[in-house]
Amino acid sequence: MSVRVRRVYESPEPEDGVRVLVDRLWPRGLSKDAARVDEWPKAMTPSTELRRWYHAGEGSYEEFAGRYEAELAAPEAAELLDHVRELARKGPLTLLTAAKAPGESHAAVLARLLD
């Protein structure tokens, strides 16, 4: 499987394959045409509460990752995760996020779970 993480603000590339937005909120200042998003599984994104907790600096990335993985065990999120995993099995997949540090974001957690 080929799963990569990129910022949604970067220009699409042919090797992106299926482009999946993994943020709960649409990225500011970006049109849907420019983003070229193929899927947007909102129920698979971190909850608003978890996102706020992490961005407030109240915990470590490791703790955030553990809490997020627990959220992904919920039925709807797990079903979407399985769907995205199936997309990754079929060809290249790019997880898109507006996070300034994608390597320490929920997108990195997803990429690890999908590989």
Q: Whole-angstrom Cα distance, residue 115 to residue 90? A: 13
- pLDDT, residue 1, reads 66
Q: What is the mean pLDDT of the segment spanning 55-71?
A: 93
Per the structure block, which two tokens stand in for 51?
Answer: 């996102």
Percent of the chain with pLDDT over 90: 93
Its pTM stands at 0.93
Residues 97-111 have a mean pLDDT of 95
The secondary structure element, H or E, covering residue 7 is strand 3-7
Give me the chain's average pLDDT, please. 95
CB 12 within 8 Å of CB 36: yes
